[in-house]
């Protein structure tokens, strides 16, 4: 039995309304998406273009040398994208949790809380990367795509479990698996909503992705909104499905602020 009442379809609609009313919730993921797109265009893209130019001028062996020399740059760029994406999504999850509770989101406080949870977030990111390795390789024969979707479903509550529930990286992964397995119906509807927003955003983004500056602007708007919607849905379903137990860091912060108000002391 659910700990709190939950109408999955209504919650998906409510998430869209909340995002429309408080569009600033999309700013962290918009900035993160634009920065990631800029890294892809101007860092990874530069290495790829250099390799193509080397093939044209000197042949494939020269291109191999360019790719080898640029491997460190590409690796650092990918790590940067992972960190930026992790931080931006966690900030939106933190702020969205406050918005769902009827409080005004404070991005400064959200960012400080996310920085305090950064080691757990990065540990979870590394573990998720390891889990996704085999499905990514299998994408070469298409079977990896549905496997990635299944993995994404079971991991949809990892970030909320860390920044809202206060769990460690590996513990959050276990909690996400348990929550989705215990409530597959509502979780599936929530995940379909997140996936639909992602796919719509990617389809719209493909029209501009090949134009560097416009592509970055497109990532800012489209990527920011779709990622923020996914974060709103994930944290909402997490809050409604998880057991009523010891409050996480966000609940403790809210309670602490409540006691500091003048009317609370009087």
Tell me the pLDDT band of 252, cut-offs 50, 70 and 90.
very low
What's the mean pLDDT in 225-239?
90
Residue 258 has pLDDT above 50, yes or no: no
Residue 35 has pLDDT above 90, yes or no: no
Residue 133 has pLDDT above 90, yes or no: no
pTM exceeds 0.95, yes or no? no
Spatial separation of the C-alpha atoms in residues 247 and 252, rounded to whole Å: 6
Q: Which two tokens stand for residue 27?
A: 């700013």
- Which tens digits make up the pLDDT trace of 52-107? 776 777 766 666 666 676 677 777 888 888 889 899 999 999 999 988 888 888 88
91 contacts 116 by C-beta, under 8 angstroms? no
Percent of the chain scoring above 90 in pLDDT: 29
Scanning the chain, the segments in alpha helix (DSSP H) are 8-21, 27-39, 45-58, 60-100, 107-116, 118-138, 144-154, 158-163, 169-182, 184-205, 212-218, 224-241, 249-260, 262-265
Spatial separation of the C-alpha atoms in residues 12 and 210, rounded to whole Å: 31
Output the CA–CA distances (angstroms, integers) from residue 128 to 50, 148, 173, in the order listed: 32, 11, 8
């Amino acid at each position: 039995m659910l700990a709190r009442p939950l109408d999955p379809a209504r919650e998906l609609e409510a998430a869209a309304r909340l995002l429309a009313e408080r569009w600033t919730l999309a700013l962290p993921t918009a900035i993160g998406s634009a920065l990631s797109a800029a890294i892809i265009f101007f860092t990874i893209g530069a290495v790829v273009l250099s390799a193509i130019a080397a093939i044209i001028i000197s042949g494939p062996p020269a291109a191999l040398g360019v790719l080898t020399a640029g491997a460190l740059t590409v690796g650092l760029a990918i790590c940067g994208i992972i960190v930026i994406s992790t931080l931006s999504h966690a900030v939106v999850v933190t702020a969205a949790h406050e918005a769902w509770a009827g409080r005004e989101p404070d991005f400064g406080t959200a960012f400080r809380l996310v920085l305090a949870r950064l080691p757990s977030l990065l540990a979870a990111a590394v573990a998720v990367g390891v889990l996704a390795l085999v499905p990514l390789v299998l994408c070469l024969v298409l079977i990896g795509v549905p496997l990635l979707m299944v993995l994404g479903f079971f991991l949809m509550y990892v970030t909320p479990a860390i920044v809202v529930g206060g769990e460690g990286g590996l513990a959050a992964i276990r909690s996400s698996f348990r929550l989705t397995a215990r409530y597959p119906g509502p979780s599936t509807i929530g995940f379909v909503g997140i996936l639909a927003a992602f796919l719509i955003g990617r389809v719209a983004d493909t029209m501009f992705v090949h134009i560097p500056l416009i592509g970055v602007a497109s990532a800012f708007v489209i990527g920011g909104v779709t990622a923020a919607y996914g974060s709103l849905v994930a944290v909402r379903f997490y809050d409604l499905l998880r057991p009523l137990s010891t409050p996480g860091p966000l609940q403790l912060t809210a309670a602490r602020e409540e006691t500091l108000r003048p009317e609370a002391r009087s």
